[in-house]
Amino acid sequence: MPESHRCAIVLGASIAGLLAARVLAESYDQVTVVERDTLPGQPVPRRGVPQGVMPHIPAARGMRIMDRLFPGFLDELVAAGARVWDDGDLSRLCVTFSGHQFQRSGRIPDPESLAMYYVHRVFLEWSLRRRVTAIPNVTIVDGHDAVRLTSTVRRDRVTGVVVAHRASGTETSLNADLVVDATGRGSRTPVFLEQLGFRRPREDELTVHVTYAGLPVRLPAGALREFIAFAAPQPSRPRGYAMFAGQDDTYMLAVQTVAGQRAPSDHAALLGCLSELAPAHVLAAARRAEPLADVTQYRFPSNRWRRYDKLARMPAGLIVIGDALCNFNPLYGQGMSVAAIEALVLRDCLSRGDRGLQRRFFRNCTKEIRVAWRSAVSSDLALPQIAGKRPATMRVANAYLERVFAAAETEPALVQQFLRSLNMIDPPSRLLRPSIVARVVKGTRAARGRIPAAVITDRQEVNT
């Protein structure tokens, strides 16, 4: 059984913070979640989650973890109107990578191996918050900013945090045995560390300058069979689009641009851009859709990984999780699922006691983050518009993925395996199994050539 402690504080009530609070509630007598926003009582967008109005869903692995932490959670989402793809019906997906539209008919070979849940980000967070607030030893304090950390006289351990009421500015000091920063990309922990006399963590970064322009819409019943219609940016066209189903007949619709290209700013311009990207039936559905809000833009400057695992010194009693630790291009749908994985890592570390908690947490998270990081970075660097180093192994891996995408036009087994990797159920190296390589060769009519040896030998560098 986990050791019992007195108090933990979580900074941020986003998905990462809520999952952290759920895990901490098993080991701490009291868990306090401090959130800067005034939290709405309904599933509506809030200022602190600007990406909430854009189409993105958690990877299947993340949803499995949420259901593990909150038994019955997925059934609750479906009962509330969320869609679920669990029968392998490929006509429900319209997915294009690198200009290759995946197989659109039939079913994947093993439908039970993959279930994807379609629920909008705002509704997902609201549903998680309801479950967390029902935990007796968890309290959420909204409308407060974290101002600074408190520490021992020797500054070798964090002892709590000073928070300020956003409306009045009144400061309050909250004591804690553990502080978990889940405040997202804008995390101030690097500043807090400097204030305590420590170094900031190194930052690994790949600049992408992505802009999303999107809005929620309601479609007439039956207007679109697909739960997801999506095309990723490609080298010859650094723009993409997404139209993801959510609760009931609502969808999130967006256009994405990379490398600083302008994104549409209003509904007419968005539809005009979509006409160059989407198949005719998806465009027709988008034109029939009822806008539920104005078009908004969300800018994402870079993939960024703060390397707390590399710090030689850091005060005890402080953990960083979610986007505050590492965040990825939203195109790949990794962020929420990585946060869920990190919550499980924290749970496991707490079950093993306090000794070396921080070191063990960051070390074990690094193993999980590295896979997602390589995946996002290599996929971004497949676009020539993105500046960055492209090692030979990455170029070979991306060339192989190009063949995977081409073969997935006619091979349901490849669609299944790629989706399992994309949803973080399988490691990307599964795409190198002999049976998969054989299907890739067959599907791309590459029998006369040979898959480069580096692809087979350097499994760890293959990314999706």
pLDDT for 74 beyond 60: yes
Contact 462, 432 (CB under 8 A): yes
Contact 400, 455 (CB under 8 A): yes
361 and 274 fall within a common domain = no
185 and 226 fall within a common domain = no
pLDDT for 1 beyond 70: no
Residue type present at position 3: E
369 and 408 fall within a common domain = no
In-domain check, residue 268: yes
In-domain check, residue 194: yes
Convert the pLDDT of each residue in 301-344 to its tens digit: 999 999 999 999 999 999 999 999 999 998 888 999 999 999 99
In-domain check, residue 460: no
59 and 104 fall within a common domain = no
98 and 213 fall within a common domain = yes
66 and 102 fall within a common domain = no
Least confident of 44-53, 281-290, 298-307: 44-53
In the prediction, which pLDDT does 248 show?
A: 83
Least confident of 60-74, 340-354, 446-460: 446-460
In the prediction, which pLDDT does 427 show?
A: 93
Convert the pLDDT of each residue in 249-269 to its tens digit: 899 999 999 998 899 999 999
Q: Residue holding tokens 């979640």?
A: 33
In the prediction, which pLDDT does 118 show?
A: 95
59 and 171 fall within a common domain = yes
Range of the domain at 441: 392-449
| Mean pLDDT estimate for the chain | 92
Q: Give a three-class secondary structure readout of the chain.
A: CCCCEEEEEEECCCHHHHHHHHHHCCCEEEEEEECCCCCCCCCCCCCCCHHHHCCCCCCHHHHHHHHHHCCCHHHHHHHCCCEEECCCEHHHEEEEECCEECCCCCECCCHHHCCEEECCHHHHHHHHHHHHHCCCCEEEECCEEEEEEEECCCCCEEEEEEEEECCCCCEEEEECCEEEECCCCCCCHHHHHHHCCCCCCEEEEEEEEEEEEEEEEECCCCCCCCCEEEECCECCECEEEEEEECCCCEEEEEEEECCCCCCCCCHHHHHHHHCCCCCHHHHHHHHHCEECCCCEEEEEEEEEEEEHHHCCCCCECEEECHHHCEECCHHHCCHHHHHHHHHHHHHHHHHCCCCCHHHHHHHHHHHHHHHHHHHHHHHHCCCCCCCCCCCHHHHHHHHHHHHHHHHCCCCHHHHHHHHHHHCCCCCHHHHHCHHHHHHHHHHCCCCCCCCCHHHHHCHHHCCC
In the prediction, which pLDDT does 454 show?
A: 37
pLDDT band at 58 (very low <50, low <70, confident <90, very high): confident
Size (the chain), residues: 464
In the prediction, which pLDDT does 109 show?
A: 97
CATH code, domain carrying 267: 3.30.9
**Boundary-marking domain end, from 378, 411, 435:** 378
In-domain check, residue 456: no
In-domain check, residue 455: no
**Which percentage of the chain shows pLDDT scores above 90?**
87
In-domain check, residue 387: no
Q: 392 has which bridge partners?
A: none
- Give me the number of domains the chain comprises: 3
In the prediction, which pLDDT does 5 show?
A: 64
pLDDT for 452 beyond 70: no
In-domain check, residue 282: yes
Convert the pLDDT of each residue in 357-403 to its tens digit: 999 999 999 999 999 999 999 999 999 999 999 999 999 999 999 99
pLDDT band at 453 (very low <50, low <70, confident <90, very high): very low
**Boundary-marking domain end, from 300, 321, 349:** 300
**Boundary-marking domain end, from 300, 324, 351:** 300
152 and 278 fall within a common domain = no
179 and 229 fall within a common domain = no
pLDDT band at 442 (very low <50, low <70, confident <90, very high): confident
